[in-house]
Amino acid sequence: MKVFILITGSEFVNGLKLEKNSLFIAREAFERGLEVNGIGIVGDDMYQIQYFIKMALDKSDILIVSGGLGGTQDDLTREAIQEAIGVHLIYDREWLESIKKTLKDQGRALTDEIKKMARLPYGSKRIENPVGKAVGFVKILDDVNKAVVAVPGVPSEMKPMVKKAFEMLGFKEKLKRSHIFRTFGIQELEIDEMLKDIDGVILNSSPKGVDIFVTDREAFFLKNKVDVIRERVGDYVYTEEDIEMEEVVGRLLKEKGLTVSTAESSTGGLIVSRLVNIPGSSSYVMAGIVSYSNEAKINILGVSKESIKKFGAVSDQVAREMAEGVRRLTGTDISVSDTGIAGPTGATEDKPLGLHYIGYCDGEKTEVHRIVYKGERNDVRLYVSQYALNLIRINIGR
């Protein structure tokens, strides 16, 4: 069966917010053996939402709409579905009485905005919201043997409700099994060549590396594929969980009882920011210094003026002195540094855009890696931060 996913919200089409709900919904559909044949994002416009609903139902068996189920004026999903499929909205009396009681206990009155959320298409089945007020619904279109599912856009509400919707539609069992390998330091084309004899492999490349997704209906065959991929890709794999590099590194630092500091230039604090994304990071992250200017490198980190004058701020020697300087200054077990040219300006004849030097220091050794990564400025910074975190992983994970 084919599934179309429709995400509503002007914040997405205007580029104000990154849309992620479709990723979760598509994964849930895929694992249940369903084919996602399209994903659409539409603003809070009644006619545009109706257009997408009609188009999706023409091409798909199941339409899942996320967003627009609140009580504000721009929450239009119910009304758009009503118009598109020609079914009246009626009040779900059971839910309405329940919310009245809840509001009364809280000393609040039932407003028109909240009352609006009790309106569901005639003949639909309510999807309970475990953490919020907005209810979802499943509406079966018996005449064409299709289904419309509507869930809120808030991720914490959407996720359990999507799972419940699939159960209500009879897709309880996950027919396709999947496994993820997250890699760094190897190109997508290399992995493609390495795994070309294995079916069910999907690759996704980004500044953070290459993610390998492998799928199969049978657990036995999936395990065989996973074992082969693990052996072939080896140490390029930094995790087989759907987590980020900073969490992998954080676990290693905590496990080994090590502390870390960063001295950053081009990345502007991105490395330490990613490290402190992880709860409990205060036990291993001691400090992060953004030494963007030459003066900061000299006055704070103790980089020598002679090194900057002789080699330039973007150099092996400066990255080395930055890593050693921040470790000495903060007294941490290990440290990392970066200095480079993120672009779009700053390149010279012998120092191209994307050139970076990334340092690692642990007291016994200091190593500096020279890399050139070309791309949009913030993609470059993200890649450099990933490279620095991976240096920590490689060195302390041995």
Which pLDDT tens digit goes with each residue over 98-152? 888 888 888 888 888 888 888 999 999 999 999 888 899 999 998 889 999 999 9
Average pLDDT over residues 48-77: 94
pLDDT, mean of residues 224-248: 97
Residues 197, 192: Cα–Cα separation, whole Å:
9
Q: What does pLDDT average to over the chain?
A: 94
Domain 245-396, CATH homologous superfamily name and number? CinA-like (3.90.950.20)
Which band of pLDDT confidence, cut at 50, 70 and 90, is reported for residue 344?
confident
pLDDT at site 359: 98
Domain range 177-239, CATH class: alpha beta
Q: In the prediction, which pLDDT does 224 show?
A: 96
Q: Rounded distance, CA 95 to CA 114, Å?
A: 11
pLDDT at 85 over 90: yes
Q: What per-residue confidence (pLDDT) applies to 83? A: 95
* Confidence at residue 111, expressed as pLDDT on a 0 to 100 scale: 86
In angstroms, the Cα distances linking 192 to 186, 198, 205, 264, 367 are 11, 10, 11, 34, 31
The pLDDT of 25-47, averaged and rounded, is 94
Between residues 347 and 20, the one the model is more confident about: 20
As a whole number, mean pLDDT of residues 329-350 equals 92
To the question of domain 2-168 being in CATH 3.40.980.10, the answer is: yes
Nearest to residue 126, comparing CAs of 94, 156, 87?
94
Least reliable range by pLDDT among 152-156, 172-176, 260-264, 374-378 = 172-176
Task: Quote the tokens at residue 357.
Answer: 């030097």
pLDDT of residue 106: 84
pLDDT on residue 125? 96
Q: What is the pTM of this model?
A: 0.73
In sequence order, the 6+-apart residues with CB closer than 8 A to the CB of 232 are 194, 195
Kindly tell me if the per-residue pLDDT of 183 is higher than 80: yes
Confidence category of residue 347, pLDDT binned at 50, 70, 90:
confident
SS3 (DSSP) at 285: strand
Q: Where are the domains of the chain?
A: 2-168, 177-239, 245-396
